[in-house]
Structure 1
Amino acid sequence: MNQNFIIREAKPSEFNEIGDLLVLVYSQLKGFPSPEEQPAYYERLQQIGKFTDYPNTKLMVAITPEGSIGGAVVYFGDMSYYGSGGTATKETNASGFRLLGVDPALRGLGIGKRLTETCIQLARTEKQHQLIIHSTKAMQTAWKMYENMGFVRSLDLDFKQGELDVFGFRMAL
């Protein structure tokens, strides 16, 4: 596993490239809605930097040793800005993260895990009681990683995004 990636907050000059990467990653997920099926979702991915306009929301990025973007995730220190369906935005004493994506050419190097660990540490630093995330059947690799890291399925957080079933997870901190 390559630990030489630098995890830090994204710079505004990187927002467009991160948006392009996330659109690529999500549009390639087998069984996930296409840009034609959910254009508003992909528009949010493309405009990922706008999430940083929300209080206590950070766009975290993994930078390769060569200086390129290897992956990214949006961390929400205030769940009221989390923006999912279901009940997650009503959770208190909680943080969350969404829209984690890793460059397909760099998968298997631990980038997703490092980004997730960064979100866990941010939530602990903020003295949150739990960390909330969502996943879909199309994201089985991430799903397994989350469970191996200690996230547990939380049926009360599940919702539907159009026709897509979205599954909630939480980690007690």
Structure 2
Amino acid sequence: MSNSEYSIRIAKIEEFESIGKLMVQVYAALDGFPKPDEQPKYYEFLANVGELTSKPGTEILVSVSSDETIAGAVVYFGDMQYYGSGGTATQEKNAAGFRLLAVDNSVRGKGIGKSLTLACLDKAKNQKQKQMIIHTTNAMKPAWKMYEAIGFKRSEDLDFKQGDLDVFGFRLQL
């Protein structure tokens, strides 16, 4: 899965620290999203995102340029029990999910988020999953249009609150 400038692959362990820094940078810059001083444990979780790959079926996918610069990343969960969100998503069966989609602000608008999303969908289909589960927030509204164009539907049964932050569930039947 690639466009002319970027290709998608599984992240290497030695990239986990850079990916964590990218996620902290991207999420801290979102308008209306809690800042590091408001939710320090969440940002510590982002910084240590590589630890999630110790769970079965969990991988980080990265979009890299031809010189191997990381342009974006996402965490794919082949087993929802390890998804780690609030709400009911972790009880979903025959489902995969992805979280923590982050694209470097300097390369936004080049289809990197969409290509990472489609790579997750391909992976879930190859694993014979029946649906894909994701969560997003009002601060991530620009991504909602992309998700809906791909076919994701709002699923209020998956909604939850993270502190004062409303988190909205979406699902796509595969």
Q: TM-score, normalised by structure 2?
A: 0.97
RMSD: 1.0
> Which SS does the other structure have where 2:98 is aligned?
strand
- Alignment partners' CA distance in 2, 1:5 and 1:54: 27
Q: Deviation per CA, 1:92-142: give whole Å up to 9, x if none.
A: 000000000000000000000000000000100000000000000000111
Please report how far the alpha carbon of residue 14 of structure 1 lies from its aligned counterpart in structure 2 after TM superposition: 0.4
* Corresponding letter in the other structure for 2:122: Q
* Corresponding position of 1:31: 32
- Alignment partners' CA distance in 2, 1:106 and 1:65: 14
- Alignment partners' CA distance in 2, 1:141 and 1:48: 23
- Alignment partners' CA distance in 1, 2:50 and 2:141: 26
Q: Which structure 1 residue ranges, 5 or more long, are not aligned?
A: none
* Corresponding position of 1:91: 92
> Which SS does the other structure have where 1:71 is aligned?
strand
- Alignment partners' CA distance in 2, 1:85 and 1:9: 26
Q: Which structure 2 residue ranges, 5 or more long, are not aligned?
A: none
Matches within 5 A, 1:108-123: 108-123=109-124
Q: TM-score, normalised by structure 1?
A: 0.98
Please report how far the alpha carbon of residue 67 of structure 1 lies from its aligned counterpart in structure 2 after TM superposition: 1.8
Structure 2 residue 20 is the aligned partner of structure 1 residue 16: no
- Alignment partners' CA distance in 2, 1:163 and 1:85: 13
Please report how far the alpha carbon of residue 85 of structure 1 lies from its aligned counterpart in structure 2 after TM superposition: 0.2
Matches within 5 A, 1:65-80: 65-80=66-81
Count of matched residue positions in the alignment of Structure 1 and Structure 2: 173
